[in-house]
Amino acid sequence: MVQKKKPKSKKKLSLGKYFQKIEVGESVAVVREPSLKASFPKRMQGRTGIVEGKRGKSCVLNIKDYNKEKRFIIEPIHLKKIKNINPKQE
C-alpha cells in the first residue's frame, strides 16, 4: 500500500523525479506518486519491469503479471530506476 504524503508536501511534486530520463532496456519499479492520478491498476504498485519503448513522455513497460507478460504505459514520475541483478547474457 502506498504511504500517504505528509500534509506539508501533499500537492508538491519533485521536479527531478518528474523530468527523470529513463532509457529503453532499463529495469524500473512502479512506485505511485500519491499527488497525481495514476493511469495503471493498483495491483501494479511495487512490481518491477523492463522499459520496452516510449510513447510521448510515457514509458512502455513489460511487466510479468503472474504467468503472463503484460505491457503498461506509465509516466516516468511513477517509476523508480533499479539495478538489474541478473542481466541477460548474450
Pick the CATH number of 25-81 from 2.30.40.10, 2.30.30.70, 3.40.50.970, 3.30.70.260: 2.30.30.70
Backbone phi, psi, residue 15, to 5°? -65, -35
Residues 61-82 pLDDT 10s: 999 888 999 999 999 999 999 9
The pTM (predicted TM-score) of the whole model is 0.77
Low-confidence ranges of the chain (pLDDT < 70): 1-3, 85-90
The CA distance from 16 to 83, in Å, is 19
